[in-house]
A and B are shown apart, each in its own frame.
Chain A
Amino acid sequence: MRTKPFACLTIAVGVLLLGLWIAQPPATRANGEKDDEKGGHAHVPAPFEYADAHMPLSLWTDQATIARGKEIYAVRCAVCHGDSGDGKGPAGVALPLKPSDFRDKAGVAEMRDNYWIWRVSEGGQVEPFKGKGSAMPPWKGELTVQDRWAVMAYQHTFSGHQGPHVPWEHPESVVVGRDIYAMACVACHGVEGRGDGSVGPTLSPRRAPQPRDFTTGEFKFRSTPSGQLPTTADLFRTVTEGVRSSGGAMTIGLRGHRIMPSFRHMPEEQRLEVIEYVKSLNRAFWERQEIKTVNVPAPPLVTAERLARGKQLYADAECLACHGERGRGDGPSAPTLKDSRELPIAATDLTQPDRFKNGARPEDIYRTLVTGLAGTPMPSYADSLEPDQAWDLAYYTLSLSNNRRRTAETMR
């Protein structure tokens, strides 16, 4: 009589143990999940430092580059990633976090090129890879950028893909951003990113500003010189801050008079994903050779002399032709202004810095003066103003504000 309950209990415990074993193999003590075949290869957006590092398109299929990459790979990478790129090099098989298998077409297709060079450059020394126990070393101290590209080009050959590794060949690399765009952006910017969404004309009927056409390469808010594309950080700032408007009937009720909403509430990773998708709509982001940003020096102190010089510059630079003598956007040229789409556009009312589209801090105004606003009549003064003069004009612009107290705080 005693044996039967004991036997049942024993069998039950044995079955339980077996079930637990099957459902969840025991974890390692030191390095996270055991046999984690794919863990750690999260294709998160590259940080700003690498977000604009797109490999020149021709290198992906350049035989000399691939040959150079093969040499480097054999010496530095194959011991973990394997001679055949399968992630089963003699040292790699012993790692708790397995090296990437470059023959995995789907996995490679999901990787953006800026992510790829980030990984090659920083290895597993940065998060989220460090926390997952990645053993990959950083190669930025030992390989030049060109050599890192060469290695990437060679690694790419394992996937079997013949063309360049870019989003228009691998739409899956921007699918997350595409989905976010479909939810949050398409109403204004349109299905193909041409700024022809249905909402745009409603917000600003038959005049500027209209939603940005991402395919033309004309972006207003940049830290790059006139005529150049913005950086990823510039796009991130715009998505985060939104775009303030000069008001108008259709913007009443929109938070902060923003004609483009702020997506500050959206997780940072999602903002970066949607920006990668937006970039993929314009191949010029991959074709530009070098990225230069405008240097914004540390803001100097505001003095009466600086404001006086700024006032003179305001006249000399013909700002008052558009913005008016008092900065109200009522200059003699204001009624004739048109943007690059031939739509009437208002000169910004400088007495309301809350409405400044590119920001109202002194450094924002400085940047706007130096970069100009592409697609609008606002030119770049990079060639005609010295840095000190640009500060003079920036501070004078702020002094025109109706809100003296806030302006004083801003300029302090």
Chain B
Amino acid sequence: MRSILVMVLTAALGLWTAFADEAPISGTVKAVDAGAQTLTLEVASKGKTREVIVYMKPGAKVVRFTRATEPGKTGFVEQELPLSAVKVGWIVSATTKHEGNREVAEQVKIVVER
């Protein structure tokens, strides 16, 4: 009985932690390091601005959205691009997980190219 209760409690704590760790962030690109597979973003939160280094998970994608070119289609399509194509000043959003002391991105979306 005790072991079951311990497992349930641990699971609850684990879920809490997991949901707390996954979150989208958005900000302006301040630096791109293709070698280290990182993006430095300037993000604003609750009135404060700070820099966040986002580490790209192996296999993580960087995508932009463009209009479909097929006849009769006008919606957006995803277009993948390498991290090195991301430029300083662009606004991106990233779905990240908190792993250790790092923000690890599974996907980065280009919001605005400037």
Contacts and interface: CB of A to CB of B under 8 A. Distances in A.
Interface of A: 3, 6-7, 10-11, 13-14, 17-18, 21, 25-26, 28-32, 34, 74, 78-80, 83, 89-92, 94-97, 127-128, 130-135, 137
Interface in B5-57: 5-6, 8-9, 12-13, 16, 19-20, 23-27, 43-49, 52
Contacts of A17: 12-13, 16
A96 B27 CA distance: 10
A30 B5 contact: no
Given A14-B12, A28-B45, A97-B26, 17 more contacts: A7-B5, A18-B12, A21-B16, A26-B16, A29-B98, A30-B96, A31-B24, A78-B76, A80-B111, A83-B74, A91-B65, A92-B111, A94-B26, A94-B93, A94-B95, A130-B44, A131-B48
Nearest to A2: B2
Contacts of A90: 65, 76, 78, 109
Q: Across chains A and B, which 8 residue pairs bring their CB atoms closest together, nearest first?
A: A28-B23, A26-B20, A131-B47, A30-B25, A10-B5, A94-B93, A135-B26, A91-B111
B75 to A, nearest CB: 7
Nearest to A26: B20
A71 to B, nearest CB: 12
A13 B9 contact: yes
Contacts of B74: 74, 83
7 contacts: A6-B5, A28-B24, A30-B103, A80-B111, A83-B74, A90-B78, A94-B94
Nearest to B78: A90
Nearest to A137: B112
B1 interface: yes
B26 to A, nearest CB: 4
A366 to B, nearest CB: 40
Contacts of A80: 111
Given A10-B6, A90-B78, A31 B45 contact: yes
Nearest to B112: A137
A31 B5 contact: no
A174 B3 CA distance: 61
Contact of B110 (A3, A89, A91): A91
Contacts of A25: 19
Nearest to A91: B111
B91 interface: yes
A321 B6 CA distance: 96
Interface residues of B, number: 43
Main secondary structure of the interface of A (DSSP, over half): loop
Given A91-B110, A96-B23, A96-B26, A32 B45 contact: yes
A7 B65 contact: no
Nearest to A96: B24
Contacts of A32: 45-46
A30 B112 contact: no
A28 B75 contact: no
A136 to B, nearest CB: 8
Contact of B25 (A11, A18, A31, A137): A31
A77 to B, nearest CB: 10
B26 A133 contact: yes
A7 B12 CA distance: 15
Nearest to A138: B114
B103 A95 contact: no
A135 B112 contact: yes
B5 A137 contact: no
Contact of A83 (B2, B26, B75, B114): B75
A95 B43 contact: no
A126 to B, nearest CB: 11
Nearest to B113: A137
Interface string B62-91: 000101000000111010000000000001
Contacts of A132: 44, 46
A135 B93 contact: yes
Nearest to A33: B46
